[in-house]
């Protein structure tokens, strides 16, 4: 069974750094893209970017390029989403999900449970 288990909720102050994680199991971690999705309070889903753990090829939505960093450690089947300096506007639920790309298809097939990030002074 494919599972994506995310790290727990975080409460941070503006200007602090943060790295949240997403551990995959039940499949070959290096052979599927992993993506991150933001959902701000009461708002919709936003596609942030994806990473291919096999070679760390990474793609960002223009809206998030330079704002966050996506990485992966294939030795422990874990993907990461990182901020160097948080802002209050980063307060949101963040989901990781397995990104399927095959035969012209591109979609999130399996989702993590979400990590709530709260940034407040």
Partner 1 sequence: SYELTQPPSVSVSPGQTARITCSGDALPKQYAYWYQQKPGQAPVLVIYKDSERPSGIPERFSGSSSGTTVTLTISGVQAEDEADYYCQSADSSGTMGVFGGGTKLTVL
Place of tokens 């397995």: 98
SS3 34: strand
Q: Is 27 in the site for partner 1 (CB under 8 A)?
A: no
- In 3D space, the residue among 100, 92, 85, 86 whose CA is nearest the CA of residue 27 turns out to be 100
Q: Is 42 in the site for partner 1 (CB under 8 A)?
A: no
Q: Among 34, 50, 72, 81, which residue sits at the site for partner 1 (rule: CB under 8 A)?
A: 50
d(CA 82, CA 11): 14
Residue whose CB is less far from partner 1, 62 or 121: 62
Q: Is 8 in the site for partner 1 (CB under 8 A)?
A: no
> Which range in 16-24, 37-45, 71-79, 80-88 contacts partner 1 by CB under 8 A?
37-45
The burial class, CB within 10 Å (0-12 / 13-18 / 19+), for 20 is buried
Footprint of partner 1 (CB under 8 A): 35, 37, 44-47, 50, 59, 61-63, 95, 99, 101, 104-109, 111-114
């Amino acid at each position: 069974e494919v599972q994506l288990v995310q790290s727990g909720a975080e409460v941070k102050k503006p200007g602090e750094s943060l790295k949240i994680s997403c551990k995959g199991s039940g499949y070959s971690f290096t052979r599927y893209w992993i993506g991150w999705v933001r959902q701000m309070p009461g708002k919709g889903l936003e596609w942030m970017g994806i990473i291919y753990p096999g070679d760390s090829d990474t793609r960002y939505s223009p809206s998030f390029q330079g704002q966050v960093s996506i990485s992966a450690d294939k030795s422990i089947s874990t993907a990461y989403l990182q901020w160097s300096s948080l802002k209050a506007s980063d307060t949101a639920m963040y989901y990781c999900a397995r990104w399927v790309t095959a035969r012209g298809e591109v979609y999130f097939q399996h989702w993590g449970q979400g990590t709530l990030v709260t940034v407040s002074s």
